Amino acid sequence: MNVVEEKQKFLGKKYKSIIWKYAKEWFALPKIALTFTAIFFFYYVAQIQNGMYIISGILLIFAIVNVYYALKLKREFKKRMQHYGKKWMLEEMIFNVASFGGIMIASNIPQIVTSIEKIPSKTAACLIAVLLTAAMIYSYITLIIIPKKAEKFLREQYPEYQLCS
């Protein structure tokens, strides 16, 4: 394993720990109530007649929002690259990998929902509710929270980053 691969592996672990840190913060008192409300809402909607149509509409809106933020992050990353003239690995993870993760979750949920329809209704409704809520929290963390704090993470990781900015 060469130095670049080791650095990528290290920064991958760091990025995952950043995501995990904000995910744990999400489950603190005020936001946990919002999380349970979302789970109960999706559970209720999944159980009503034609609920899958409502969930499909929510998934479509969710996917559109994810794509919008992913494209926004890509544009911001290109601007930062032009401004600084240097590419930082952690910055690339924050702005490119995050958008990929959000889009992958959004694009795979319909397949999950259709396969879950074969499970008895209460179990399927619970799985759908938890998956949708988890996907939304993950997307919010990776597409909104972490990119807003990118400067802080880059300064912590790269002392020379402060000289460039």
Span 96-141, pLDDT tens digits: 776 666 667 666 767 766 766 666 678 878 888 898 898 888 888 8
pLDDT at 39: 94
Cβ atoms of 149 and 26 within 8 Å: the answer is no
| pLDDT single digits (tens) 9-59 | 887 888 888 888 888 888 888 889 999 999 999 999 888 877 777 887 888
Question: Cα torsion for 63, 151, 90, 95, to the nearest 10°?
Answer: 20
Specify the pTM.
0.81
CA torsion 9-10-14-19 (nearest 10°) is 10
Rounded CA gap, 69 and 144, in Å?
8
- Is 143 within 8 Å of 98 (Cβ atoms)? yes
